[in-house]
Chain A
Amino acid sequence: MTMMFYVALALLALAILCFLYRVVKGPTVADRVIALDAIGICLAGMVAVLSIVLETSVFLEIILLIGILAFLGTAAFAKFLQKGVVIERDGNH
């Protein structure tokens, strides 16, 4: 049974390495951003598997956090690529 979790971990890690290759290679910034987003989700998966292996529930918050951060990061990046700024000045101040 444990063996399966390790296999899952190894596969996830392999996936991260592949995504990393994409991060390094590019060729466009959008490729890299998507790869990073995917790495984040893979990380969340790895943390989940790891908490099963380590038989603990303290890492569940991390999974949620990775989900939020990956979304925020990708959204901010996308806005940056589109508009050149992340936070727009709306003229109220």
Chain B
Amino acid sequence: MLNWAIVSPLIAALFVPFLSKYVRSIHTGWFVLPIPVLLFSYFIQHLPLKPYGQTIPWIPSLGMDFQVYMDGLGLLFSLLITGIGSLVVLYSIYYLPKEKEKLGHFYVYLLLFMGAMLGVVLSDNAIVLYLFWELTSFSSFLLIGYWNERDRSRYGAQKSMLITVFGGLSLLGGFLLLSIMSGGTYSIRGWIDMAGAWPEHPLFLPAMLLILLGAFTKSAQFPFYIWLPDAMEAPTPVSAYLHSATMVKAGIYIVARFTPIFAVSPLWVWLVMGVGMATLCWASFHAARQTDLKGLLAYSTVSQLGLIMSLLGAGALAFHGDLSDRRLYTAAVIAAVFHLINHATFKGSLFMAAGIVDHETGTRDIRRLGGLLGIMPVTFTVAVIGSLSMAGIPPFNGFLSKEMFFAAMVQVANADWLSLEVWGALFPVLAWVGSVFTFLYSVLFVGKTFFGAPKPSAWPKQPHEAPAGMLVAPVVLAVLVIGFGLFPNVLSETVIAPAADAVVNGLLRGEGLSVHISHWHGWTTEVWMTIGVIAVGALLYKTFPSWKRVYGAFPEQLSLNRLYDASVRHMEEQSYRLTSAYMTGYVRTYFVYIFSAMMALLIATIALKVDWGLSFRHVAEVGVHELILVLAALAGTVTTVAAKSRLVAIIALGSVGYTVSLFFVLFRAPDLALTQLVIETISVSLFLLCFYHLPKLSRHEKGVRFRLGNAILSLGVGALVSVIALLAYSEKNFASIAQYHIENAYEKAAGKNIVNVILVDFRGFDTLFEICVLAIAALGIYALVKLKAPKGESGKYE
């Protein structure tokens, strides 16, 4: 059942094109909507959770099966994916007009993505997980480039594809290393059970780094966050769904899922916590400077993902320290899971609100917006609720998770191991600074869009409140924001506790895991920190115009986007230069490469492998006539090479050929001699034919130009081949099989000419295909001579 739940969106995607083509009167989205709704109701039936798994054999011989396992973490993500998926589909029905848009494409991509995402969070087989992981990258690429006639969309799609696929490949590398360490299994639960003995393994560190690289690129962590702001070229429902609620959390999911394996390593704790914190501060600082609503939300997503990531890093500390520490740091995991849910709700609603503003006014630029408060009251309410939750103001759910975040970071500062006694104090400070900027941009989002004076002249359209259907999804999310804020314990026992339990792998089973979720009152450090955030944030907002130029001080040249663009451009340029440097287009250059490579390989082999046993045991006596013939052949060769005119070279070559036939006579090979004579005559005539038809221009006869490099190379090749021949001849390891032919040519094959018997009887197959070669050559020549491209169409045959 679970397997079918995962693939059901993929199967449904097959039917969408038909529906969008043949049922044109109804918006295709209505047909798609039941799928996530049904899946959501299916997944919600699993509450209260009893973990269970299921396997459908796929390639059992390679250990790859469609193996799914539902635990708290998987269920939490499944509910997010299908729940927000339903709302996004509903929203998109009103957002995308059915007359103008290619709805079939849109919903196929969206369903592909939904199925892939469910596969990522529910797969227990790492290879299947990787498969779905790449499918999310791919469908996200398609969705970002949905308006593919726009340059920016194509740029954003390409950028996100390059970065996430880079991460995906390193994730695959990490999985393979883990599978090697575990002796061939791909089951993630199997790995978690085995992980105890791994920290000493030499592959542990590479596997960890590769998996983290995959997770960080997907979840837009520093410095890989740069694709996310550019992915905002996608339609707003896509941004709301993929780039805030689901896909960017796949990396979070991987980190959470692999925490039980890697958390024992201090490097894991430091990397996850440090990178998360750096992302939080950097992105929240930059979010406030954005002038595009979706750009602001993209940077805010990056910073919130950093927050969740750093909480997961702090949660990994639970695997160190003693029992009381475990309880304290598990609270960080609970905070991470809680904030994951909260972020999905408020960020989804904010994106939808931004989409409504865009849809109704025609612009997303906050410099042109303002004063929409009276015009769009519902959107305004939704945006205020979302923003205040994002800023961490009571009574919304963001407040609770931010308090838990501060609490966890204060705990990190109190830790006294893994060098945390030195650097730990940095974390609460950075967390606080990041939250101040979060407050600032949240207030900016609402303040610049809905307050201030209306600017009707700057609006492309006359705005009015969005249609009711478009408002349903953001209102539902806003209600959830308030609901979770007021009654957080609805979630704590049902969803959060099992999910946190899965992250820490039952570290605290039966030891009061749930206590910390309900415990959220009291005058503690974190309350004062929140009050400080609000006070300083409000001050910064008031004075924003006067210190805004701080952002200008940051050199644009050093930004990561510039670095990305420059490195892509440089890679293209450099590989082009490299290619055009060695691919000269001259055959002579390639011959130099081929001969040099041949010499290098052979010399290296001889130097390393061959023992120098030159012996002349097998050498026969040399007669005078042989010497004379050698001299004749030599004279012919030298003349060929040194000839000033081509005619001389051809004749000299012919003389070499005839000398060779004389050698055949001398070495008692009459058939060879006959053939050689005839063939030599024919080929000399062919040479003469070519010579005669050379074009007039290049006919001026010149000697061969002397090039030292070529001379050295050819001398080297000649010497080398001679040495190899001598070496090979010195070692005759086996007797020849020729004796068999001599004895049996007449006995078995009824022929006295042994050469001919071999050619047509003992080894007639070779002859057959040499006849074939000659036939092909003849036909080829005929075709070359006869078939000429008609005039004006010469390009066709090139």
| Interface positions of A (Cβ within 8 A of B) | 6, 9-10, 13-14, 16-17, 20, 23-24, 26, 29, 32, 36, 39-40, 43, 46-47, 50, 54, 56, 58-59, 61-62, 65-66, 69, 72-73, 76-77, 80, 84-86
Given A39-B658, A47-B662, A50-B666, is A24 in contact with B648 using a C-beta cutoff of 8 Å? yes
Are B652 and A47 interface neighbours, CB within 8 A?
Answer: no
Prevailing SS type, chain A contact patch:
helix
Residues from chain A with a CB closer than 8 A to the CB of B677 are 62, 65-66, 69
Which of B636, B665, B673, B692 has its CB near the most chain A CB atoms (within 10 A)? Answer: B665
Given A6-B624, A59-B665, is A36 in contact with B651 using a C-beta cutoff of 8 Å? yes
Is B779 positioned at the interface, with any CB of A under 8 Å from its CB? no
Interface size class of B (residues with CB under 8 A): 20 to 34
CA distance A75 to B323 in the complex (A): 108
CA distance A75 to B655 in the complex (A): 17
Residues from chain A with a CB closer than 8 A to the CB of B652 are 23-24
Query: Looking across the interface, which residue of chain B has its beta carbon closest to that of A69?
Result: B681
Cβ contact of B655, chosen from A14, A23, A47, cutoff 8 A = A23
Are B654 and A16 interface neighbours, CB within 8 A?
Answer: no
11 contacts between A and B (CB under 8 A): A13-B625, A13-B628, A20-B636, A24-B639, A36-B651, A47-B662, A50-B625, A59-B670, A65-B674, A66-B677, A86-B688
Given A39-B655, A43-B658, A65-B678, is A24 in contact with B635 using a C-beta cutoff of 8 Å? yes
Shortest CB distance B502–A (Å) = 88
CA distance A84 to B693 in the complex (A): 10
Residues from chain A with a CB closer than 8 A to the CB of B661 are 43, 62
Cβ contact of B658, chosen from A9, A40, A80, cutoff 8 A = A40
Given A23-B652, A24-B652, A54-B668, is A6 in contact with B673 using a C-beta cutoff of 8 Å? no
Interfacial residues of chain B within 656-677, with CB under 8 A of chain A in the complex:
658, 661-662, 665-666, 668, 670, 673-674, 677
Residues from chain A with a CB closer than 8 A to the CB of B681 are 69, 72-73
Residues from chain B with a CB closer than 8 A to the CB of A13 are 625, 628-629, 632
Given A10-B628, A43-B662: 7 more A-B contacts, CB < 8 Å: A10-B624, A29-B647, A39-B655, A47-B662, A59-B673, A61-B670, A80-B688
Residues from chain B with a CB closer than 8 A to the CB of A86 are 685, 688-689
Is B631 positioned at the interface, with any CB of A under 8 Å from its CB? yes
Shortest CB distance A15–B (Å) = 11
Residues from chain A with a CB closer than 8 A to the CB of B685 are 73, 76, 86
Are B678 and A20 interface neighbours, CB within 8 A?
Answer: no
Are A9 and B651 interface neighbours, CB within 8 A?
Answer: no
Query: Looking across the interface, which residue of chain A has its beta carbon closest to that of B643?
Result: A24
Query: Looking across the interface, which residue of chain B has its beta carbon closest to that of A9?
Result: B625
Residues from chain B with a CB closer than 8 A to the CB of A77 are 688
Is B684 positioned at the interface, with any CB of A under 8 Å from its CB? yes
Are A36 and B655 interface neighbours, CB within 8 A?
Answer: yes
Residues from chain A with a CB closer than 8 A to the CB of B688 are 77, 80, 86
Are A20 and B665 interface neighbours, CB within 8 A?
Answer: no
Residues from chain B with a CB closer than 8 A to the CB of A23 are 639, 651-652, 655
Given A9-B625, A84-B692, is A69 in contact with B678 using a C-beta cutoff of 8 Å? yes
Residues from chain A with a CB closer than 8 A to the CB of B635 are 17, 20, 24
Shortest CB distance A64–B (Å) = 10
6 closest residue pairs by CB, A with B: A13-B628, A58-B670, A69-B681, A24-B639, A9-B625, A62-B673
Residues from chain A with a CB closer than 8 A to the CB of B658 are 39-40, 43
Cβ contact of A47, chosen from B628, B651, B665, cutoff 8 A = B665
Shortest CB distance A49–B (Å) = 9
Residues from chain B with a CB closer than 8 A to the CB of A6 are 624-625
Residues from chain B with a CB closer than 8 A to the CB of A29 are 647
CA distance A32 to B677 in the complex (A): 19
Residues from chain A with a CB closer than 8 A to the CB of B655 are 20, 23, 36, 39
CA distance A80 to B666 in the complex (A): 33
Shortest CB distance A16–B (Å) = 6
CA distance A77 to B654 in the complex (A): 13
CA distance A58 to B688 in the complex (A): 32
Query: Looking across the interface, which residue of chain A has its beta carbon closest to that of B624?
Result: A10
Residues from chain B with a CB closer than 8 A to the CB of A17 are 628, 631-632, 635
Residues from chain B with a CB closer than 8 A to the CB of A73 are 681, 684-685
Residues from chain B with a CB closer than 8 A to the CB of A85 are 692
CA distance A23 to B673 in the complex (A): 22
Shortest CB distance A71–B (Å) = 11
CA distance A9 to B692 in the complex (A): 37
Query: Looking across the interface, which residue of chain B has its beta carbon closest to that of A51?
Result: B665
Given A24-B635, A46-B662, A47-B665, is A62 in contact with B670 using a C-beta cutoff of 8 Å? yes
Residues from chain A with a CB closer than 8 A to the CB of B673 are 47, 59, 62
Residues from chain B with a CB closer than 8 A to the CB of A72 are 681
CA distance A61 to B670 in the complex (A): 9
Which of A17, A26, A58 has its CB near the most chain B CB atoms (within 10 A)? Answer: A58
CA distance A16 to B692 in the complex (A): 28
Query: Looking across the interface, which residue of chain B has its beta carbon closest to that of A47?
Result: B665
Which of B631, B674, B688, B689 has its CB near the most chain A CB atoms (within 10 A)? Answer: B674
Residues from chain B with a CB closer than 8 A to the CB of A9 are 625
CA distance A43 to B688 in the complex (A): 22
Residues from chain B with a CB closer than 8 A to the CB of A24 are 635, 639, 648, 652
CA distance A61 to B673 in the complex (A): 10
Cβ contact of B665, chosen from A10, A40, A62, A69, cutoff 8 A = A62
CA distance A24 to B647 in the complex (A): 11
CA distance A68 to B110 in the complex (A): 82
Are A62 and B668 interface neighbours, CB within 8 A?
Answer: no
Residues from chain B with a CB closer than 8 A to the CB of A16 are 632
Given A36-B655, A56-B668, A62-B674, is A20 in contact with B684 using a C-beta cutoff of 8 Å? no
Are B674 and A20 interface neighbours, CB within 8 A?
Answer: no
CA distance A36 to B688 in the complex (A): 15
Shortest CB distance B250–A (Å) = 75
CA distance A20 to B685 in the complex (A): 19
Shortest CB distance B620–A (Å) = 15
CA distance A23 to B628 in the complex (A): 17
Residues from chain A with a CB closer than 8 A to the CB of B651 are 23, 32, 36
Residues from chain B with a CB closer than 8 A to the CB of A46 are 662, 665
Are B674 and A61 interface neighbours, CB within 8 A?
Answer: yes
Residues from chain A with a CB closer than 8 A to the CB of B639 are 23-24
Interfacial residues of chain B within 611-656, with CB under 8 A of chain A in the complex:
624-625, 628-629, 631-632, 635-636, 639, 647-648, 651-652, 654-655
CA distance A86 to B753 in the complex (A): 37
CA distance A81 to B628 in the complex (A): 32
Query: Looking across the interface, which residue of chain B has its beta carbon closest to that of A84?
Result: B692
Query: Looking across the interface, which residue of chain B has its beta carbon closest to that of A36?
Result: B651
Residues from chain B with a CB closer than 8 A to the CB of A80 are 688, 692
Which of B629, B631, B658, B684 has its CB near the most chain A CB atoms (within 10 A)? Answer: B658
Which of A9, A24, A29, A43 has its CB near the most chain B CB atoms (within 10 A)? Answer: A24
Shortest CB distance B645–A (Å) = 9
Residues from chain B with a CB closer than 8 A to the CB of A62 are 661, 665, 670, 673-674, 677
Shortest CB distance B693–A (Å) = 11
CA distance A24 to B30 in the complex (A): 92
Residues from chain A with a CB closer than 8 A to the CB of B665 are 46-47, 50, 59, 62
Query: Looking across the interface, which residue of chain B has its beta carbon closest to that of A80?
Result: B688
